[in-house]
Amino acid sequence: MSVFKGSGVALVTPMKDNEEIDFDALEELIEDQIKNGTDALVVCGTSGEAPTLDDPEHLEAIRFAVQVTKGRIPVVAGTGSNNTAHAVMMSEESEKLGADALLLVTPYYNKATQDGLYQHYRKIASATKLPCIVYNVPSRTGTNILPVTMARLAADQPNIAAIKEATGNISQVAKLARLLDGKIDIYSGNDDQIVPLCSLGGVGVISVLANVAPRQTHDLVMHCLEGRYEEARAIQLRALPLIEQLFIEVNPIPVKAALNMQGFRVGKPRLPLTELTPAHKESLRRAMEEFGCL
């Protein structure tokens, strides 16, 4: 039940000055991503500011992305929550809207035991026929879904299709790959670890970098998947200064600034996120110029 192989962009949600979603700008972003080789769209995730979207606009953004994409590449809908019932509802609605897969972040703030995580994901996945991608990002959620729990889910729930691994812990990824043994896909959730994760059997990335460098991110992953690790490593290392700048403040603050620099009208983040500081804008601009995406 593989969703995609390659580069999935963790797409930002463009905002107008009045903070409404700018659907014209969103269409422009989607078309640019498809034109430049992106292999999947991930909408209404962390980079898409899902925590500040109310349910109707969250679902409308998913519906719109499906409509614009027209099946050319998969649309992965971010529907995770720390409220299992809410995640079930958003997942069911996203399936009705035509999403191709779901991205489900681990419960945050209230946390959960490993058995709680197992039951949370089984409850959501059982409510839909869509492939589900578990999103493990302890730096944001305070919860780490352990490899043994993922192996249990992969064995017991057929539509658990993949994990977005953003622990930053390559040893954990290696253990995960050993336990999963190819049963589900592993995506990198960290742009600076695409090559090492693919070398352990990963099949792609869900990427912030791809917002501003879609072609290069796609090519980096394809080089890995086709065994051209010299070429992949060259792109990975050259991209590191830009990746660092894209996280100089909390995501998606810098990537929205970067897209605005490129001429896309994505606006500023919603509070509590703020605009990138002037000093960081300058260092981000330099990194973009050096990488060749500005």
Tens digit of each residue's pLDDT (9 = 90 or more) over 137-159: 999 999 999 999 999 999 999 99
| Number of Cα atoms under 13 Å in the Cβ half of residue 88 | 11
Percent of the chain with pLDDT over 90: 99
Residues with a known catalytic role: 135, 164
Neighbours of 60 (CB within 10 A): 16
Residue range 201-225: average pLDDT? Answer: 98
94 falls in which pLDDT band (50, 70, 90)?
very high
267 falls in which pLDDT band (50, 70, 90)?
very high
Residue range 244-257: average pLDDT? Answer: 98
CB-neighbour burial class of residue 292 (10 A; exposed 0-12, middle 13-18, buried 19+)? exposed
Residue range 62-77: average pLDDT? Answer: 98
CB-neighbour burial class of residue 78 (10 A; exposed 0-12, middle 13-18, buried 19+)? buried
- At the topology level, CATH places domain 6-230 in TIM Barrel (3.20.20)
Return all residues near 265 (Cβ < 8 A) that are at least 6 apart. 14, 22, 24, 25, 28
Neighbours of 192 (CB within 10 A): 17
Which pLDDT score, from 0 to 100, does residue 290 have?
A: 98
12 falls in which pLDDT band (50, 70, 90)?
very high
Average pLDDT, the chain: 97
Which pLDDT score, from 0 to 100, does residue 250 have?
A: 97
1 falls in which pLDDT band (50, 70, 90)?
confident
